[in-house]
Amino acid sequence: MKILFYCCGSENLGVEALSAYLKQAGHEVALLFDPQPGNNFYFNMPFINRCISRESLIKKALAFSPELIAVSFLTNQLLSVRTFMRHMKKHISVPVIAGGIHATVLPEELIKEDWVNMLCVGEGEGAMAELAEKMSRNEKIDNIANLWIKKEDGTVIKNRPRPLIANLDAIPIPDKNIFVNYGVISRRLMVMTSRGCPYTCTYCINSYRDKIYEKETYLRRKSVAAVIDELVFYKEKYKPAFIQFYDDVFSYNKAWLREFNEPYKRLINLPYECYITPSTADDETLSLLKSSGCVSVIMGVQSGSEEVRKKLLNRHYSNNTVIETAKRIKKYRLKLITEYIFGLPGDDYHTMISSYELNDKLNAHYTGSFIFYPFAHTHLTEYCIENGYLSEENKKNAYEGIGSMHYFKSLINNPDKELIYKFYAVLPLYNKMNKFFKKVLVRQLNKKWGKRHRLLNVVSVPLIDISYVMNKVLRVPCIIFKTRAFLKNK
């Protein structure tokens, strides 16, 4: 069966896994990808998106003649996906199945969309393979676990969830090749060794996933042998220079890290970066990371206020623990990248300046800042609704992906949103300054919000992680050129 995936914005590791799984089952898979180079974490210049025309994407889809279109996206991509898929449906009248985290979290809303015929709620490998097999045989598809099916009369069949894939080694090596023609695969290679997280931070979608799978263990990890095989394959095929592990927490299992250490050094021997937490960064863990090839770690501190972390975020560690963790990280000569969230419910000058003050004690190499976004059904979003921090209008906006973790668009009720934007805008730059210039920047936080703060944010953005940002920004022309060339190629 011919299956066309559509996604936009950036490389999608979930689609890569699905493509590999479906190809292994004997189906023909292609990718239609809109890189939307003008919209990313670092800048918002939508006019650049005109470099990739909607018509060229439609023509490429028509040339493939799909029998099924699968769309995977995040909540903040919904508006873009909706616009494109409505246009697509005017030209290609085949069933569309939507999946990804948005479909899992908000299925009742998404199934009402006029361009959606089916939903995959939860993991997609087994459900998509069963759907493709049944469609290729012209069999009934009404009873496939994990799928919601919208009938012609508008009624919806909501099938039971299927068990999680307990053994991730059963999934073949993710198919990065589908993104190659779009210029997305760079020498900084994205890899995930696990699914899920050992923690339930209130602002994160994992706090909702655990509700869905309360009778199962959502946190699972590939064996070391499977990860090494995957990395060896990627190393030979794509010649990466750096590995970016995107696991929510890479360092949570010391036994796994001990086993990982030797074969990674021997067979891969590439520098890498990963996510850690203060509670998964003791001496042995950091020593294992360093000796295997880790050069930098990302630690989400989120707030400098212990009270905010404990009461709002379900992050139960003291500032002293964070400081001691940072000292250990430096002891092992690892670069530390810290991350903070501004605009949390109840945030004021005191709580937000505490993040600056704590970060001063961590000697972070880089620092990233975010604006809190109330993703649907997370514990913190429910708290915001119950306590009047999220209006009914902005709740709807959040469900539609309106607003942003960036670009100064907070949806939370706060008497001084401009103060939030100033703290968010300045922190990465503040982190790199000496004491004198830090005092200068803090004074800017007391100035009226204006162009100077937006300018400071432009300067701040590269200082989140210069090598990563430059890799993203400098690749934009390459991505545009390769995408245009591939779409024209018959």
| pLDDT > 70? residue 270 | yes
The structural domains of the chain, ordered by start, are 2-166 (3.40.50.280), 187-474 (3.80.30.20)
**Residue range 135-159, pLDDT digits in tens:** 999 999 999 999 999 999 999 999 9
Q: What is the pLDDT of residue 78?
A: 94
Q: What is the mean pLDDT of residues 111-118?
A: 98
Q: What is the pLDDT of residue 43?
A: 63
Q: Cα(364)–Cα(301) distance, rounded to whole angstroms?
A: 11
Q: What is the mean pLDDT of residues 310-326?
A: 97
Q: What is the pLDDT of residue 235?
A: 98
Strand order in the sheet with 96-99: 28-34, 2-8, 68-72, 96-99, 118-120, 147-150, 156-158
Q: What is the mean pLDDT of residues 348-374?
A: 96
Question: Chain-wide mean pLDDT for the chain?
Answer: 93
Q: What is the pLDDT of residue 406?
A: 65
Q: What is the pLDDT of residue 81?
A: 95
| pLDDT > 90? residue 211 | no
**Residue range 464-478, pLDDT digits in tens:** 787 777 777 778 888
Confidence of residue 215 (pLDDT cuts 50, 70, 90): confident
> Which one has a higher pLDDT value, 308 or 214?
308
Confidence of residue 450 (pLDDT cuts 50, 70, 90): confident
| pLDDT > 70? residue 42 | no
Q: What is the pLDDT of residue 490?
A: 67
Full-model pTM? 0.94
**Residue range 394-427, pLDDT digits in tens:** 999 999 988 766 667 899 999 999 999 999 999 9
**Residue range 52-103, pLDDT digits in tens:** 999 999 999 999 999 999 999 999 899 999 999 999 999 999 999 999 999 9
Query: Which amino acid would we find at residue 381?
Result: T
Q: What is the pLDDT of residue 394?
A: 95
Q: What is the pLDDT of residue 405?
A: 60
